[in-house]
């Protein structure tokens, strides 16, 4: 049941075009990037960008590191692999 909840949280995080843009940007930068580049790529106010980053972090799709006043975000490939495996029912037991 816990695996299904994790799959649901990941699926919800991936269900927004702005969050997908963030993930695509990070992937194009080798899996990591500063908050400023994320804000520049989205046509959104800073609070909206922060909201999307928070959802991606809570789903475990990205990790934040703070250096001074600047945050850097890094993709977490294991979470993506687990999600792909889970939606193909390779890791989630199906029960009636």
3-state secondary structure the chain: CHHHHHHHHHHHHCCCHHHHHHHHHHHHCCCEEEHHHHHHHCCCCHHHHHHHHHHHHHCCCEEEEEECCEEEEEECHHHHHHHHHHHCCCCCCCCC
Q: pTM of the full predicted structure?
A: 0.85
Distance CA 93, CA 96 (A): 10
Residue-level pLDDT at 42:
92
pLDDT at 83 over 80: yes
pLDDT at 96 over 50: no
Chain mean position to CA 58: 8
């Amino acid at each position: 049941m816990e695996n299904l909840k994790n799959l649901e949280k990941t699926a919800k995080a991936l269900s927004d075009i702005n969050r997908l843009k963030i993930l695509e940007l990070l992937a194009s930068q080798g899996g990591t990037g500063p908050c400023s580049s994320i804000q520049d790529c989205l046509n959104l106010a800073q609070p909206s960008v922060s909201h999307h980053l928070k959802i991606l972090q809570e789903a475990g799709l990205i990790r934040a590191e703070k250096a001074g006043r600047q945050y850097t975000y890094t993709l977490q490939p294991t979470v993506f692999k687990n999600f792909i495996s889970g939606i193909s029912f390779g890791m989630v037991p199906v029960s009636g």
